[in-house]
Amino acid sequence: MTKKPDTLRIAIAQLNPTVGDVAGNLAKAREARADAARQDADLVLYTELFLAGYPPEDLVLKPSFLTACEKAAQEFAADTSDGGPGVIIGTPLQRKSGTHNSIIVADGGKIIAERYKLDLPNYGEFDEKRVFQAGPEIQGPVNFRGVRIGIPICEDIWGDVGICESLAESGAEILLVPNGSPYYRAKIDVRHQVVIRQVIECGLPITYANQLGGQDELIFDGASFAIGADKTLAFQMSQFEEAVDVITWKRGEDGWACSEGPMSKIPEREEADYRACMLGLRDYVNKNGFKNVVLGLSGGIDSAICAALAVDALGEERLRAVMMPYRYTSKDSLKDAEDCARALGCRYDIVPIFEPVEGFLHALTQLFEGTKEGITEENLQSRARGTILMAISNKFGSMVVTTGNKSEMSVGYATLYGDMNGGFNPIKDLYKMQVYALSRWRNGHVPPGALGPSGEVIPKNIIDKAPSAELRENQTDQDSLPPYPVLDDILECLVENEMGVDDIVARGHDRAMVTRVEHLLYIAEYKRRQAAPGVKITRKNFGRDRRYPITNRFRDRG
C-alpha cells in the first residue's frame, strides 16, 4: 500500500491574465509553473477561468473561443509530463451537459480530473447564468498524489448550498478554491468571513486563490489567503501585486496545517482605494493598446488626482495635461494646474478656448435671440474643451482620461460630449469627499508600484479651495448643491444602501434636499448610460451593479 504523503507544497499563482488572450494567458501560466518548479512545488493553483481571463462574458458563446481554451488546457496538461508540479487551472469547457465554468487538474502529462462550478452568481457585477450551465452534480474530491483535494469554484463557497460540507463528507482532506473575486472597499474582510464560515461547516482548511488585475470596470486585487481548520489565518498574500508564492502544508493527527507561507500586510482604506484606481487605469490603458493618455487639467481636485493616478500608473512621459482657460478661469486655477503638472513632471500645454466658444456663440446668435443666457452657454465651454481633447486623442492616439467623480455623476453635474468625453475614468466610483481623502493620502505616500514622484503632487491650494466648474463668474459647486459631506451621505444612502426618503431624513437631513437629490439622481440616468467605464470601488457602482431604467417616474414620497 502506497504511503500517503505528509507534506504538500502548493504554489498559489496570483496573476494578471487578459480576457481573450488565450495564448498569452497560457504563456503566463507556463512561466508561473516554471517558477513554482524552481521553488519545489508539488502543485500550482491558478485562478478562476484563468486561460480565458475573467469574466469572459459573451465570449463564452463563441465556439471558436471555447475551442481555443480547451486546446490551451490540453497543451498545458501535456507540459506536466516533465515530472514537475501538477496544475489546477480554470477554463470554460463545453460538454454534453452544457458549457461550464470549469477547472482541470493535470499531472503526469494528462488531465486527471475536471470539475464544474455549481453555484453560478447572478447578482451585482455577475451574470454567469446567461452564459454558463451549472455543473450537473457535486463531484467528489480529486486524488492528487495521494491527497484527496476538494475544488469548489468561487461562488460555490459563498452561498449556503453545502458544497464544502459535501466534499468533506466524501473524503476531501483540504479544499483549494480558484476565485475571480472583484475588489470593493473592505472586501478582504468579507472574503475571510465567508471562508471561516465554511471552515466551521466542513472542518477542513480552505485555500482561497484570487485573480489580480483590471478588467474593464472590475479590479481583481489578489490578496489570496487560507484559513486553517482551527479557523485562524494560515497565510496572506499581498494585495494588488502579482506573485507566485509556495505554501507548505503538513499532515498531522488533526489533518493538514500550513507550516510555511507569506503573511503580507494588507493596505489600509485610502491606500487600497488609490491602488485599485491606479491598477484599473494602468490595465485598461495597457491591455487596450494605448501608448499614452491626455486629460484636461483644470486646477481642480478631480483632474489633479486623475493626473497623479495617470503618472503613477503609466509614468510621467505617457501623460499630456492640457489647461483650456476661458474668461472665467481664475489666476489661481492657472497657477494650480501648472504647479500640479510641474510636481508630477508630465507634459503641460495651454490651449485657450475663447475663440471656439465665441465662435459657437456667434453661430447661435440668431437662434438664441431673445433668450436668457444660462446653462446652455456654460455647457458650450465644457463641450469646446471636450472637442479639443478628442482632437488631441485623434491626432496623437492618446486615450482621453475623463475626470468626473461619483457625486457629480450621481446628480448629473457633468456635460455630455464635454467633460464626460473620454475612454476611462479612474475616479468614477469615488464620491467627492473620498477624492479629497485620497488626494491627501497621496501627498504623504507613494504607493508600491507607482511610477510617480514622492512629495506633494497635488498642490495644497487645490485641496483647500472651494470646488468650482468655473463656467460663470464667482461660481462654486455649493451654489446649487448642498455641501459635499451632506450630499455624499445622502447619495450613499440612496445608491449604496437603497434607503427610503423617510429613513434618510431620520438621519438628520432636510426632507426637501433629500427629495431633490433623489430626483436629480433619477433624471441623470441617461447621462450615466453614456459615460466612460471606470474603476469599481464601492459595493454598488454605476453600470454593472446599479441598473435603473432611464424612463422612470417613481419617486419616494413616503
For residue 354, CA distances in Å to 270, 360, 444 come to 39, 10, 37
Q: Print the SS3 string covering 91-107.
A: EEEEECCEEEEEEEEEE
- Write the burial class of residue 132 (CB in 10 Å: 0-12 exposed, 13-18 middle, 19+ buried): buried
Q: In the annotation, is 154 catalytic? A: yes
CA distance 225 to 19: 24
d(CA 298, CA 53) in angstroms, rounded, equals 37
Q: Which residue has the cell 482551527?
A: 230
Compute the distance between CA of residue 41 and CA of residue 38 in angstroms, rounded to an integer. Answer: 8
**Strands (E) located in 145-224:** 147-150, 174-179, 206-210, 212-215, 218-221
Cβ(241)–Cβ(211) below 8 Å? no
Count CB atoms within 10 A of the CB of residue 519: 12
Could you identify the residue written with the cell 459647486? 477
Of 69, 70, 114, 117, which residue is the catalytic one? 117
d(CA 411, CA 527): 10
- Three-state secondary-structure class, residue 321: strand
How many Å apart are CA 333 and CA 476, to the nearest integer? 13
Backbone angles phi, psi at 33, to 5 degrees: -65, -40
b or e along 54-72 (b: 16 or more beta carbons within 10 Å of the residue's beta carbon)?
Answer: bbbbebbeeeebbebbbeb
Q: Which of 182, 212, 126 is nearest to 190 (CA)?
A: 182
- DSSP code at position 493: I
Total Cβ atoms within 10 A of residue 558: 8
What 3-state class would DSSP assign to 538? coil
Q: Which of 38, 36, 106 is nearest to 72 (CA)?
A: 106
Q: Could you check whether the bond before residue 55 is cis, i.e. omega within 30 degrees of 0?
A: yes
Q: Of the residues 69, 154, 346, 493, which is catalytic?
A: 154
Is 75 a residue of the active site?
Answer: no
Q: Is 317 a catalytic residue?
A: no
Q: Would you mind telling me the total number of residues written for the chain in this entry?
A: 558
Catalytic residue annotation: 48, 117, 154
